[in-house]
C-alpha cells in the first residue's frame, strides 16, 4: 500500500483513517525543511497544513510522490506549477472550516463596533470607560463580501440573521449563483463605495495580492470597517494603517498578515481601531476534525480508485 507522510500536527482521526485503510503512515510534525527533504523520497503521499512549504526544491527530491493533500483550503504554501510539472496531484479541502472562519468574521465585526478589546483592556486596568466606548449596531448595515465561496456564503447567512444587507462579488460566479447564495450581486467598486463593512474571502494570487491598497482604500465609504480572515497579503498593511490613522476608515480586523507573525513594528498593531487574532479562523475543534477527515478520505479515494475530489491541478 502507498506510504503517507503527515508533516504537521493534525487531528488523530487523519492517521487513523489511513491506517484503517491499510496505508503505511508516518506522522512527523516539526520536521525542518532539510529533514523533510531528506526523507520525502520515501513517500507516495504528503499531508500538510499551513506550515510546510512544498517548494520546487522539495518536489525535485520527491521521486515517488503522487499526491500532496492540504488539510485546509489555501494552497499558497505549495508550488502547484512545480507539482503539476512533476505529475504530482495537489488536493485541498475547501469548505471544511467555513463555519469556524465565518463565525470569527462576525465575532471580529462585533468586537470592533462594540469596542470589546479596548473595553476589556481598560477595565482590567482599573478604568470604567462606559461613556467613551459607546458603539454601533451591525443590524441594518451593509456588508460587502469580496469573494463568495463556502466561507463567504456562510458569512452571508450569519449576517442576514443580524438584519444586514449583503452584497457580494466573485469573478467565478454569475449573478444567479450569488443570488442563490443569499447576497445581492455587486461590483467591487459598488462594494467599496457602499458597504459599511467589507470582508475579504479570496485566495492570494498574483491578481489579488494587495487588492486593497491606497487607491482602493480611498474608494471605500468613509467610516467603513475592513475585515480580512482570508489570506495575508490581500491588503497593503501600511496603506491600511494610514487610512485608519486619518479616520477615513473607522476600523479594521485581521486574522491573517502578509508576514506571520507580524513584525513588532507593524504600524497596524499600534492602533486602537485595529484588532487582530493570530490566524485562528480554522482553530476550532470542529474544523480540525473536518479537514483531517476530508484530506484522508480524498487521498485514500484517489489511491484506491483515482477519484479527484478536491484536486486543484491536473496531471493527466
Could you read off the pLDDT of 113-127 as tens digits, one per residue? 999 999 999 999 999
Is the model's pLDDT at 145 over the cut of 90? yes
Is the model's pLDDT at 235 over the cut of 80? yes
- pLDDT tier for residue 1 given thresholds of 50, 70 and 90: confident
Name the active-site residue from 115, 231, 237, 297.
Answer: 231
Could you read off the pLDDT of 251-291 as tens digits, one per residue? 999 999 999 999 999 999 999 999 999 999 989 999 999 99
Q: Is 89 exposed, middle or buried, given 0-12, 13-18 or 19+ CB atoms closer than 10 A? A: buried
Name the active-site residue from 27, 114, 160, 279.
Answer: 279
Could you read off the pLDDT of 99-110 as tens digits, one per residue? 999 999 999 999
Could you read off the pLDDT of 209-229 as tens digits, one per residue? 999 999 999 999 999 999 999
Is 260 part of the annotated catalytic residue set?
A: yes
From the list 271, 166, 144, the residue with the least C-alpha distance to 220 is: 144
Is the model's pLDDT at 73 over the cut of 90? no
The answer to whether the beta carbons of residues 76 and 101 sit under 8 Å apart is no
Order across the sheet with 184-185: list the strands: 184-185, 165-169, 142-146, 197-200, 224-228, 249-254, 274-276
Is the model's pLDDT at 154 over the cut of 80? yes
Q: What is the mean pLDDT of residues 164-170?
A: 98
- pLDDT tier for residue 50 given thresholds of 50, 70 and 90: confident
Is 231 part of the annotated catalytic residue set?
A: yes
Count CB-CB contacts under 10 A for residue 127. Answer: 12
| Domains defined along the chain, listed by start | 3-96+285-305 (3.40.50.720), 98-276 (3.40.50.720)
- Give the chain's mean pLDDT: 96
Report how far apart the first and last C-alpha atoms of the chain are (Å, whole number).
22
Name the active-site residue from 35, 215, 260, 309.
Answer: 260
SS3 state at 90: strand
Is 279 part of the annotated catalytic residue set?
A: yes
From the list 255, 302, 247, the residue with the least C-alpha distance to 91 is: 302
Q: Is 8 exposed, middle or buried, given 0-12, 13-18 or 19+ CB atoms closer than 10 A? A: middle
Amino acid at each position: 500500500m502507498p506510504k503517507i507522510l503527515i508533516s504537521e500536527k493534525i487531528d488523530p482521526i487523519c492517521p487513523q483513517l489511513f491506517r484503517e485503510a491499510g496505508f503505511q503512515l508516518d506522522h512527523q510534525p516539526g520536521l525542518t525543511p532539510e529533514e523533510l527533504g531528506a526523507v520525502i523520497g520515501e513517500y507516495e503521499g504528503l499531508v500538510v497544513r499551513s506550515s510546510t512549504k512544498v517548494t520546487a526544491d522539495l518536489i525535485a527530491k520527491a521521486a515517488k510522490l503522487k499526491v500532496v493533500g492540504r488539510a485546509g483550503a489555501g494552497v499558497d504554501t505549495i508550488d502547484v506549477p512545480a507539482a503539476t510539472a512533476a505529475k504530482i496531484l495537489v488536493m485541498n479541502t475547501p469548505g471544511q472550516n467555513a463555519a469556524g472562519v465565518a463565525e470569527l468574521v462576525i465575532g471580529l465585526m462585533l468586537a470592533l463596533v462594540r469596542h470589546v478589546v479596548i473595553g476589556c483592556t481598560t477595565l482590567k486596568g482599573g478604568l470604567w470607560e462606559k461613556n467613551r466606548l459607546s458603539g454601533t449596531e451591525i443590524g441594518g448595515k451593509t456588508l460587502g463580501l469580496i469573494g463568495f465561496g463556502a466561507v463567504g456564503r456562510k458569512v452571508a447567512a450569519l449576517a442576514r440573521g443580524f438584519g444586514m444587507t449583503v452584497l457580494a462579488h466573485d469573478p467565478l460566479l454569475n449573478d444567479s449563483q450569488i443570488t442563490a447564495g443569499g447576497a445581492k450581486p455587486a461590483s467591487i467598486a459598488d462594494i467599496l463605495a457602499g458597504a459599511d463593512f467589507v470582508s475579504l474571502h479570496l485566495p492570494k494570487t498574483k491578481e489579488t495580492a494587495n487588492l486593497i491598497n491606497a487607491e482602493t482604500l480611498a474608494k471605500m465609504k468613509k467610516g467603513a470597517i475592513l475585515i480580512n480572515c482570508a489570506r495575508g497579503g490581500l491588503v497593503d498593511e501600511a496603506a491600511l494603517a494610514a487610512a485608519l490613522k486619518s479616520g477615513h476608515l473607522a476600523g479594521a480586523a485581521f486574522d491573517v498578515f502578509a508576514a506571520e507573525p507580524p513584525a513588532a513594528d507593524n504600524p497596524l498593531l499600534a492602533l486602537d481601531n485595529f484588532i487582530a487574532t493570530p490566524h485562528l479562523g480554522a482553530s476550532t475543534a470542529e474544523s480540525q476534525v473536518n479537514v483531517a477527515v476530508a484530506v484522508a478520505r480524498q487521498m485514500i479515494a484517489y489511491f484506491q480508485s483515482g477519484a479527484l475530489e478536491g484536486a486543484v491541478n491536473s496531471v493527466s
